[in-house]
Chains A and B, each alone.
Chain A
Amino acid sequence: MVNSRQIFIAFVCAYVLSCLWIDEAKGHAFPAHSDPKVGATVASSPVSVRIWFDGDLEPVFSTIAVQDASGKKVDKGNGRVNPSDAKLLEVSIPPLPAGTYRVIWNVVARDGHRTMGDYTFVIK
């Protein structure tokens, strides 16, 4: 006769199997790579900062900004999730003088999970 503990174990096994069927696109969105790269030193001012994530982003709740060393915002204010690539967060920047700049991002993945971060790059 099947006892209740065996029912519990069967339930857990079924539950784990169901977990394996879940769409991999879900979950927190973390950066995969960026341009300029995290911590990089570049020879001239880039025209934009782009971060590719490992999951699709919600455009309405995802933001990106670039600041100079004093904390002043220097981007063009057009940060967005690329309409043709939901994994790409980007913002345009004007020609910038040499210095250290900080990229600050805050994104919400398609399933509602929020992640945030920042990094610096240097223009020679």
Chain B
Amino acid sequence: MSEALSRRSISAAWLWLSVGLSISLILLMPVYSYAHGLAGKRFFPTTLSVEDPFVSDELSFLISHIREPGEGVEPAVNSTEISLDYSKRITPHFGISIGESFLHLNPDEGKSESGFGNLELGLKYQFLTNEEHETILSFGVDAEIGGTGASRVGADSFSTISPLLFFGKGLGGLPESVKFLRPLAFTGVIGPNFPTRSKNVITTLNEATGEIEQEVERNPVTLTWGFSIQYNLQYLQSFVKDVGLGVPLNRMIVLVEFPFETCLNRGCEGQTTGFVNPGIIWFGKSVQFGIEAQIPINKRTGKNIGVLGLVHFFIDDLFPKSLGKPLF
């Protein structure tokens, strides 16, 4: 009965979400909109792996594919994930986000599984934007809502709360002698992930002995940290030196992202997993595309290279006087 109630409440949450987004879509208020991802003349794109530091109205579709290593008796899995993330500004510097993902897991042994991951919610406050120094600082809280996804694809039954600090910094202020480094920029994020439950007790029936067995699975606090290094060809062409780049190179950003996660307690202290993700981004007036390779940094992360692809819509450019502007 409690399972039925839980399903009903999740179902109601989705319905309210749909209604809320629909209402916001039809609200048409004729006022100015503000810029996304800009600090002075620096444009910070939405990155694929490391969460970006700015608050904006945007809609992202991210697809990833990688072969994940087996753990213990668990076989290796070919994992494909399609994620959707929608961000909405409430004020020019404060925004909320909602994200959902659909996973398809194809293990070496056993049948494949598909299902939704947990619902992800977020808040972000961009408390510093310095145009002259091309700097952005933000603080946010992300929450993965436990039990809203399918356990068969690994969705946790507990929630995880993550307070995060974000930064973005462009190097446009470098002296003339190193002017070709001015298109460089860095973004990054750091923050702990707190599970709302320290352990899961899994009870199973041993069919051979007929005894009930209990296994304790510990849920550690982890640290998310990562950064990106970006070289913006549009910045080079528009502000440093016209080197004759045409379409589409004049709107490209070459980047490498470094998303990491380090375990902080409960038996796995100091263990880090992560990737080095080289890739390219192209941005237009209302849409952005990106593609990256995912290269594991160690055996714990995996040994196969994955791929990430992004299609991203600038809602503030698409609907500058309605859905794409801050509510207040």
Which A residues contact B (CB, under 8 angstroms)?
3-5, 7-8, 11-12, 15-16, 19, 22, 24-28, 30-31, 33-34, 37-40, 54-55, 111-119
Contacts and interface: CB of A to CB of B under 8 A. Distances in A.
Indicate the size class of the contact surface on chain B. Answer: 35 or more
A16 B211 CA distance: 53
Given A22-B318, A112-B32, A118 B239 contact: yes
Interface string B26-68: 0000001111001011000000000000000001010000000
Nearest to B148: A5
A67 to B, nearest CB: 15
Interface in B58-82: 59, 61
B317 A38 contact: no
Interface stretch (B10-18, B120-128, B163-171, B216-224): B10-18
B21 A26 contact: no
A38 B244 CA distance: 10
B285 A4 contact: no
B286 A27 contact: yes
Given A28-B317, A38-B239, A55 B41 contact: no
B320 A37 contact: no
Contacts of B241: 38-39
B242 A38 contact: yes
Contacts of B34: 113
Contacts of A31: 238
Given A11-B22, A22-B318, A22-B319, A117 B239 contact: yes
B177 to A, nearest CB: 13
Nearest to B325: A112
Nearest to B179: A39
A16 B285 contact: no
A108 to B, nearest CB: 9
A12 B21 CA distance: 9
B174 interface: no
Contacts of A4: 11-12, 14-15, 18
